[in-house]
Amino acid sequence: MIPVTKTFFPPLEDYQEHLKRIWKNQWLTNRGKLVKELEANLKTELGVPNITLTTNGTLPIQIALKVLAKGGEVITTPFSYVATTSAIVWENCTPIFVDIHPEYLTIDETKIEAAITEKTTAILATHVFGNPCNLEEIERIAQKHGLKVIYDAAHCYGVKYKGESLFNYGDVSTCSFHATKLFHTGEGGAIFCQNKELNHKLFYSHNFGHNGPEDFHGVGINAKMSELQAAMGLSVLPYMEGILEARKEIVSFYDDHLDFTKVRKLKLREDTDWNYSYYPIIFETEQQLLKVQKKLNEQEIFPRRYFYPSLNTLNYTGKSKMVHSESISSRILCLPLYKDLDISHLIKILEIF
């Protein structure tokens, strides 16, 4: 069976070494040594000034919305994983969808201003497949209208834009370290924030609002990463370079051998050092996609329809028509991409096209 992705398992001995440290410390959560160590390593690795590790990649979005969007209207993309939209609704904010750019697949910044009302408080956009949104233009619009910018950067581990970590853009960026993501801690995630004061607020919000054992800064939730999750992260981290290298080769192979008269690929934004996180291809019609998907499935190859359906069509988001997002969602398929996918697998996949 060839799945769309396969979780990277570090050598068991590596993981056991970190577990031994946990047993020795007799400390499982509440910012133990391993969480702090993983934070320090990631800061260096990624080149970010601040990071707060969390228990998954959804709570950081909710915390950012709670602190910055304050129950208002949130301008967002319909082309993302469902967590982007569900977090908005869960936080009692209203998602206002703005269609996507048909090639970059990120929110179409030229349509944002028309969607702003008196109730708009924030923009929550996804750098989908690790492809940056138009950061400069979104920043300009946000400044002009006094809006906060939150980036769902769940797919962006290792991505650089103009030589700098993509996590360093927006008021807040969030990431997911779920087992299916590029870098993982089993379940996990992170909050990135440049501003010291805001970062502090997000930090205490992720730990019940605690400021010491008996003092509270304000309302908070529990989104803390545990030592067990950090142990996985510390075990995976040393292998990231090799993982990225292997993925790069697979992406080149697809690039060299797919027939781009029949399908097209994602257009990456200029000045981006990408992370080879996904290999989406866009068919001309949904029928063509379904035909290829069926043929692949018959050979035990399971690509995924990331991201389908378009989020503006969810039954809890009200009615809106997003022409590009609905069209792309119905025609886009992510091909298998993971470290151990070898040439024979790739040939088998490509033969079917």
Ligand X SMILES: *Cc1c(COP(=O)(O)O)cnc(C)c1O
Q: Which of 5, 50, 52, 56 binds ligand X (CB under 6 A)?
A: 56
Quick one: 155 or 224, whose CB is closer to ligand X?
155
From residue 175 to residue 194, the character string flagging contacts with ligand X as x (rule: CB under 6 A) and all else as - is -x-x----------x-----
Q: Is 84 in the site for ligand X (CB under 6 A)?
A: yes
Query: Shortest Cβ distance from residue 85 to ligand X (Å)?
Result: 10
**206 neighbors 220 (Cβ within 8 angstroms):** yes
Query: Shortest Cβ distance from residue 57 to ligand X (Å)?
Result: 3
Quick one: 178 or 201, whose CB is closer to ligand X?
178
Amino acid letter, residue 272: T
Quick one: 176 or 346, whose CB is closer to ligand X?
176
Query: Shortest Cβ distance from residue 201 to ligand X (Å)?
Result: 21
Q: Is 108 in the site for ligand X (CB under 6 A)?
A: no
Strand, coil or helix: 305: coil
**Residues, the chain, total?**
353
**162 neighbors 135 (Cβ within 8 angstroms):** no
Q: Which of 2, 46, 64, 83 binds ligand X (CB under 6 A)?
A: 83
Q: Is 80 in the site for ligand X (CB under 6 A)?
A: yes
Q: Is 100 in the site for ligand X (CB under 6 A)?
A: no
d(CA 168, CA 49): 8
Quick one: 153 or 258, whose CB is closer to ligand X?
153
Neighbours of 24 (CB within 10 A): 9
Binding positions for ligand X, 233-292, rule CB under 6 A: none
Q: Is 329 in the site for ligand X (CB under 6 A)?
A: no
From residue 27 to residue 46, the character string flagging contacts with ligand X as x (rule: CB under 6 A) and all else as - is --------------------
Amino acid letter, residue 149: V
d(CA 174, CA 119): 24
Quick one: 129 or 161, whose CB is closer to ligand X?
129
Position of minimal CB gap to ligand X: 57
Amino acid letter, residue 181: K
Quick one: 5 or 207, whose CB is closer to ligand X?
5
d(CA 70, CA 120): 10
Q: Is 57 in the site for ligand X (CB under 6 A)?
A: yes
Q: Name the one range near ligand X by CB under 6 A: 23-31, 52-60, 108-116, 342-350.
A: 52-60
Query: Shortest Cβ distance from residue 80 to ligand X (Å)?
Result: 5
Query: Shortest Cβ distance from residue 307 to ligand X (Å)?
Result: 8
Comparing CA positions, the residue from 218, 225, 303, 226 lying closest to residue 258 is 303
Binding positions for ligand X, 126-155, rule CB under 6 A: 126, 152, 154-155
d(CA 328, CA 104): 11
Segment 175-181 long-range contacts (CB within 8 Å, at least 24 positions apart): 175/57, 175/60, 176/56, 176/57, 176/58, 177/57, 177/229, 177/233, 178/56, 178/57, 179/7, 180/5, 180/7, 181/57, 181/154, 181/155, 181/157, 181/277
Query: Shortest Cβ distance from residue 190 to ligand X (Å)?
Result: 10
d(CA 237, CA 183): 7
Give 57-84 as a DSSP string. Answer: SSHHHHHHHHHHTTTSEEEE-SSS-HHH
Query: Shortest Cβ distance from residue 61 to ligand X (Å)?
Result: 6
Q: Is 336 in the site for ligand X (CB under 6 A)?
A: no
Q: Is 81 in the site for ligand X (CB under 6 A)?
A: yes
d(CA 29, CA 206): 13
Q: Name the one range near ligand X by CB under 6 A: 53-61, 206-214, 312-320, 332-340.
A: 53-61
End-to-end CA distance of the chain: 18
- What angle do helix axes 59-68 and 196-205 make, rounded to 10 degrees? 120
Binding site for ligand X (CB under 6 A): 56-58, 80-81, 83-84, 126, 152, 154-155, 176, 178, 189
